[in-house]
Structure 1
Amino acid sequence: MKKSLLALAALGVFAGAAHAQSSVTLYGIIDAGFVYSNNSSGQKLYSMNSGNLQGSRWGLRGTEDLGGGLKAIFVLENGFNVFNGRLGQGGAEFGRQAYVGLSSQFGTVTLGRQYDSVVDYTGAFEVGSQWASYFGAHPGDLDNMNNSNRVNNAIKYTSANYAGFTFGGLYSLGGNAGQFNRNQIWSVGLGYSQGPLQLGAGYLNVKDPNYSFFGNTPSSSTTSSNMGGSRVYSGYASAKTQQVISAGGAYTFGAATVGATYSNTQFKDLGSEPGTGLTPVGGYTGGTGKFHNAEINFKYQLTPALLLGVAYDYTKGYGLGDAKYHQAMLGADYFLSKRTDVYIDGVYQHASGTDSTNRTAVANINGLSPSSTTNQVAAIVGIRHKF
């Protein structure tokens, strides 16, 4: 009897050890708010909107200790609309992220649908990814710092931390027989974080962006434009290549943080998607639509519960269209607890010049339909809960 009890106790110890070596965590965010815009397609807009500060989501994150410092990891993350229950990311079941890989002291290698290096190393410095909501992202999220687009079929490496430095890269195979470069995506990035200083830089190169980057969800078109959401770049849907160079940084002193970002985005070789009807506007065959973008931002932790922020962003088109977009953001975020906060944000944008559609530029705040004038205002009040 004693031997049996000892055997059962030993089995219990080993079962507990095996359980401790692997884990699966359920997590998520529910973000809901009320949005007002003074001019959306020529009309005032009052709407309820899901995923403002952060996209509403639920996910599973797992890890298994394989011994010798090696771990197997995975993430499955689903986006959804809290107001109607619909799937996000064009109806993809796990459209936000879905990957599996191995992690060790030398870094992490993962395979699946993932974020590019611009998002990983510079995205956190723009206020659209912090307190200003995605309405406060750069116009049209033209540089993807706000993570509007993910990368399918990706192989990704992320380094360990070396005295504050991290680096990584991603490569996505197009998967087209006989066309190795078709739909190919690759990116690299570098980050530094030590004390009050944070810095980052990223590079992204996308072949056939209308299909491989903007059009990689179940609801995307395989024959027409997937870039019609913003007049900032919708006229460049026939581009062969999209290139983004980005950099950002932040410095914290006391309760205050000053940050800045810069990006250069180019849509190259327009007219390179034959047979799709994506002819370049204004006869820009072979041309390149280019943009400079610069943002400066400031946030202040007024109390442990209250964060205040202000920012200014400037976008300048060149190469073809010469549109200019001036954008100002103001916001406040109040934390009711560690997991629940309420927020209010305002965004103002003014446009001038000629945009990618070869028409007079109109204001077009990210996530909204274009204004019928050169000005547009958006105001958001919402609540976010994390679990």
Structure 2
Amino acid sequence: MKKTLIAAAVMAASGVAFAASNVTLYGVIEEGVVVSKAKHEDTLVNLKSGFDSGNRWGLRGVEDLGNGYSVGFILEQGFTANNGDEGESGKAFNREAILSVKGGFGSLAFGRTGGLAFAQSQAIRTGWVFGTGYGASGWNTIDYIAKRMNNTVSYASPVFSGFSVHAMYSNGVDADTSKWSDNSHYYGLGVKYNANNILSSLIFEAVDNKGTATAKKTMGDYISEAMWAWGESDDKQEIKLPLTGADKEAYDKFAKTEVEPAKSAQKTKYGLNFGFEWNLGTITPMFGYQYVWQDGGNKDHQFGLSAKAPVAGGTVKVGARYLFGKNDGAAAGKEDKHNVWTIGAAYEYPLSKRTIIKSYAGYADAGKEWKNKEDINYNGYQLYLGLCHSF
């Protein structure tokens, strides 16, 4: 009720009329200290914002249209608690901005949201106790088919005997202002089961990367861009270089120097995710599997075993994950195989219904091509202690 009243006050102050009982203001603030050591790097002590639960605030609401139909929305913005920065520069609601219609047919949603195997309201991925949080132990810290995308259409069917079907399409994961063949598109299809203490999902995803082709760039291109920016700041005044003779010849030769070669569009990237969770009461074991492949890129398998259980008034979470694969586009004669395994454990203790103390320890170790990666997700350890408050 308090959150509803606060939301009402916020919206009233902005001059927007709405049904107060149907709009909720919510959010999460998590702040803590991380001690980390990546291979060949210094030990770091950082004040970390959103190490597990990403900091956010948002508005969600629903209007009952009658006859089992309703219209709802979610507007969610991320932020960094230790400095107040917005989650993504230039976006008012970078985490999610979605409008949905629900009824006997299921639900249909439009806007910005996360992929089926990532996060946000339309995601259905299961099978990993740490989800997308907890640093190096987050599922897919090494690779995602898609994270948050613009221009999405998402459908979820009604639930039949615990099963539901989910489909998602993005007409342009970043933008769809060019012709269709110049936009990068996302396709996702999944099945979810939630009944008899079992939660499971199977998801197929693809991003065609049609919008990733680039033209070559020369020094002249960079000079022209800089001059145009200068002209923009001075009422678009025309700027001329007073070069003649040998100076002009030298400049023309320099301007034609290629800095970045043209690149063709990347190949389509595919992903398959399977997750299984079984709530046994005293413990919930989980299994997760992922296969990601791309011609001219990495082809990786990932397996994860994890579990959670109530202990001493809180919750213990443990998990181990192993990834192996090869770089299909590696140069001739180069070692192209790689692997990495990660272990992690966390303990969450509730101080109240809305405030939780979180602690975590994790370790990652990679081999073959990745054995010297100076990245905590591949080689090194993390320790964390933080406080998470939800409202």
Residues 303-338 of structure 1: CA deviation (Å, up to 9, x unaligned): 4x3111211000102253311101001111111112
TM-score normalized with structure 2 length:
0.74
One of 367, 376, 379 as aligned partner of 1:375: 379
Counterpart residue number, 1:282: none
Instruction: Percent identity, please.
Output: 27
- Residues 91 and 297 of structure 1: is their aligned pair in 2 closer, same or farther, counting only changes over 3 Å? farther
- Residues 38 and 19 of structure 1: is their aligned pair in 2 closer, same or farther, counting only changes over 3 Å? closer
Counterpart residue number, 1:33: 32
Name whichever of 97-106 and 344-353 sits farther off.
Answer: 97-106
Residues 78-123 of structure 1: CA deviation (Å, up to 9, x unaligned): 0000000001135522110001121112211111001212235553
What secondary structure sits across from 2:117 in the alignment? helix
Residues 41-74 of structure 1: CA deviation (Å, up to 9, x unaligned): 6111110111122100000001111222211111
Residues 194-249 of structure 1: CA deviation (Å, up to 9, x unaligned): 1221110111111228969xxxxxxxxxxxxxxxxxxxxxxxx9733221110001
What secondary structure sits across from 1:128 in the alignment? coil
- Residues 380 and 191 of structure 1: is their aligned pair in 2 closer, same or farther, counting only changes over 3 Å? same
- Residues 44 and 316 of structure 1: is their aligned pair in 2 closer, same or farther, counting only changes over 3 Å? same
Counterpart residue number, 2:129: 127
How far, CA to CA, are the matches of 1:315 and 1:173 in structure 2?
31
1:135 Cα offset (Å):
3.1
One of 323, 326, 337 as aligned partner of 1:318: 326
Corresponding letter in the other structure for 1:136:
S
Counterpart residue number, 1:339: 354
Q: Does 1:292 align with 2:319?
A: no
What secondary structure sits across from 1:117 in the alignment? coil
How far, CA to CA, are the matches of 1:140 and 1:61 in structure 2?
28
Give ranges in structure 1 of 5+ residues lacking alignment.
1-17, 213-236, 269-286, 367-373
Higher Cα Rg, which structure: 2
Count of matched residue pairs: 313
Corresponding letter in the other structure for 2:163:
F
One of 154, 157, 177 as aligned partner of 1:156: 154
Q: Runs in 1 of length 4+ with deviation above 4 angstroms?
A: 18-22, 209-212
Counterpart residue number, 1:208: 209
How far, CA to CA, are the matches of 2:381 and 2:211 in structure 1?
28
How far, CA to CA, are the matches of 1:384 and 1:242 in structure 2?
35
Indicate the RMSD between aligned Cα atoms, in angstroms: 2.7
How far, CA to CA, are the matches of 2:363 and 2:211 in structure 1?
28
How far, CA to CA, are the matches of 2:372 and 2:268 in structure 1?
23
1:250 Cα offset (Å):
0.7
1:351 Cα offset (Å):
0.7
One of 350, 369, 386 as aligned partner of 1:354: 369
How far, CA to CA, are the matches of 1:23 and 1:211 in structure 2?
41
Counterpart residue number, 2:280: 253
One of 365, 378, 382 as aligned partner of 2:376: 365
How far, CA to CA, are the matches of 1:164 and 1:89 in structure 2?
37
Counterpart residue number, 2:198: 197
What secondary structure sits across from 1:125 in the alignment? coil
Give ranges in structure 2 of 5+ residues lacking alignment.
1-16, 214-263, 329-335
How far, CA to CA, are the matches of 2:85 and 2:18 in structure 1?
35
Does the 8 A contact of 2:212 with 2:266 survive in 1?
no
Counterpart residue number, 2:314: 306
Corresponding letter in the other structure for 1:260:
F
- Residues 136 and 209 of structure 1: is their aligned pair in 2 closer, same or farther, counting only changes over 3 Å? farther
